[in-house]
Amino acid sequence: MRAAVLLAERSVGMEEVPDARLPGPDGVVVTIEQAAICGSDLHLYHGDLGLERVQLGHEAVGLVAEVGADVHTLSVGDRVLISGVIACGHCTSCWRGDPVGCRNGQTAVLGTTPELPGGQAEAIGVPGADAFVTKVPDGIGVEDSVLLTDILPTGYLGALRADITPGDTVVVVGLGPVGIMALECAGLFGPARILAVDVVPDRLARAARLGAEPIDARDGGAVAAVAEATAGRGAEAVIEAVGLDQTIIDAISMTAVNGTVSVIGVNLNMALPFPMGFAFLRSITVRSTIAAIPGTWGALIPLLESGRLRPEGTFTHHLGLSEVGDAYAIFDERRDGVLKVLLDPRR
Ligand SMILES: [Zn+2]
Ligand SMILES: [Zn+2]
C-alpha cells in the first residue's frame, strides 16, 4: 500500500510500504478516506525527535476493513474515526476515554514511531479498537470527523479547563488550527468577549470573522494590548495554543486576578522561566492539557450534530497523498493562507 513516510529532516514522501495488518485480536484495520496533517507532525518533520522512516499521521477517518476477534463495537464496513492518541485499551483510564492516563503506561501517538504506522496512508491497523475507534454518526461530515481525531478535542479541553464563566473575557494566544478550535469551543461557555492573538494577518482575519477581537502581536505588544482592552485587569481565562516559552509567559502575564491559564501548545522545556511572582500575586491557576481524545466525543459529537459547534472552513487545502511532500512544505511554511491540510489517500 501507499503511505506518507518521513524520509529525512524536512522531507516527506509517498512510498510503497507493507500493507496494514491487524495489530492483534483487539484491533481493526481501517481503509483511510481522509487524513490530516497536524502541527505536531511538524515536530517530526523538523527532526526534533531524530526519527526517520516513520509512517506519519494520527488524524484519520475511514472504513473498517478487518476486525479482530475480541472487538465488540465495530463491524466491517463501519465508517469510523480514530483517536490520534491510543494506549493499552483495557484499563479503567482507557475505558474512560483517557489514554493519556493509561494505568499501564502505554500512551502513544499513532504515526510517531516505527512500531505504530500512521494514518496518512491507504490503511492503518489500530490496537484497542473498542476504546479508540468509534463509528461516525450519519449527521457528521468527513471534515468534522477528522477534527474529532485530535484538534477539536484538544481545543475543547483547552477551553473547558480555562474555567470560562458567562461574561468573562477570554484570550486565545495562537490562531493556528488548534487555537481556532479553542476559540470556537470557548464560545460554548458564554464569554462576553474573546480576544485573539497571532502574528499572521490571515489568521487574525479568520478570528475576526468568528466574532473575536484580533490582536496583532507582530510588534511584541500583545500583553499590553490585552491590558488596554481590559482596563488593566487582564482576562479571566487565557488559552495558550502556541507552545513557545515566550507565548506561555505572555499568556500568564495577560491573566486577571483569580484567572486561569490553560496551555495546550506543545512545550517540552523542562526549565521554563516561570513568572511565579506574577502568578502568585494574582492567584492565577495554570493548567496544561494533552487531550484525552475519546473522552470528549460524548460532548462534541452532539454539539456538531446540533450545529451548536460549526468548525467550518478549517481545511483550507485538499491534496492527494501523492502530493504529501508539497503538503508538508506548504503547512510548515504557512504558505498560501494555509490553516490545515486534508490528504486523500486515493489520489
Ligand atoms: Zn494532531
Ligand atoms: Zn490503558
What are the structural domains of the chain?
A: 2-150+292-344 (3.90.180.10), 153-288 (3.40.50.720)
For residue 61, report the phi and psi dihedrals to the nearest 5 degrees.
Answer: -130, 155
Determine the distance separating the centroid of ligand 1 and the alpha carbon of 146, expressed in angstroms.
Answer: 10
What is the structure's pLDDT at 51?
83
**Neighbouring residues of the ion ligand 1, judged by CB less than 5 Å:** 38, 40, 150
Determine the distance separating the centroid of ligand 2 and the alpha carbon of 175, expressed in angstroms.
Answer: 32
Geometric angle at alpha carbon 38, from 45 and 17, rounded to 5°: 60
The closest ligand to the CA of 128 turns out to be 2
Q: For residue 52, is pLDDT > 90?
A: no
Summarize pLDDT for 91-104 with one digit per residue, the tens: 999 999 999 999 99
Determine the distance separating the centroid of ligand 2 and the alpha carbon of 291, expressed in angstroms.
Answer: 15
Summarize pLDDT for 200-226 with one digit per residue, the tens: 999 999 999 999 999 999 988 999 999
Q: For residue 325, is pLDDT > 90?
A: yes
Under the banding of pLDDT at 50, 70 and 90, the label for residue 50 is confident
Determine the distance separating the centroid of ligand 1 and the alpha carbon of 258, expressed in angstroms.
Answer: 31
Q: State what percent of residues in the chain have pLDDT above 90.
A: 95
The closest ligand to the CA of 89 turns out to be 2
The closest ligand to the CA of 120 turns out to be 1
The closest ligand to the CA of 93 turns out to be 2
The closest ligand to the CA of 340 turns out to be 1
The closest ligand to the CA of 103 turns out to be 2
The closest ligand to the CA of 119 turns out to be 1
SS3 label, residue 281 = helix
| Residue environment code for 178-217, b if the CB has 16+ CB neighbours within 10 A, otherwise e | bbbbbbbbbbbbebeebbbbbebeebbebbeebebbbbeb
Determine the distance separating the centroid of ligand 1 and the alpha carbon of 153, expressed in angstroms.
Answer: 10
What is the structure's pLDDT at 48?
83
C-alpha cell at 284: 492565577
Determine the distance separating the centroid of ligand 2 and the alpha carbon of 16, expressed in angstroms.
Answer: 32
Q: State what percent of residues in the chain have pLDDT above 70.
A: 100
C-alpha cell at 70: 475480541
The closest ligand to the CA of 40 turns out to be 1
Determine the distance separating the centroid of ligand 2 and the alpha carbon of 109, expressed in angstroms.
Answer: 13
Determine the distance separating the centroid of ligand 1 and the alpha carbon of 143, expressed in angstroms.
Answer: 14
Determine the distance separating the centroid of ligand 2 and the alpha carbon of 133, expressed in angstroms.
Answer: 14
What is the structure's pLDDT at 227?
98
Q: How many other CB atoms are found less than 10 A from the CB of residue 141? A: 11
Cα torsion 80, 84, 90, 95: sign: negative
Average pLDDT rounded to a whole number, residues 228-238:
98
Average pLDDT rounded to a whole number, residues 248-273:
96
Average pLDDT rounded to a whole number, residues 180-196:
98
Summarize pLDDT for 334-345 with one digit per residue, the tens: 999 999 999 999
Residue ranges with strand state E in the chain: 2-8, 11-16, 28-36, 60-67, 79-82, 85-86, 108-109, 123-126, 133-135, 169-173, 193-198, 213-216, 235-240, 255-263, 285-288, 317-320, 341-344
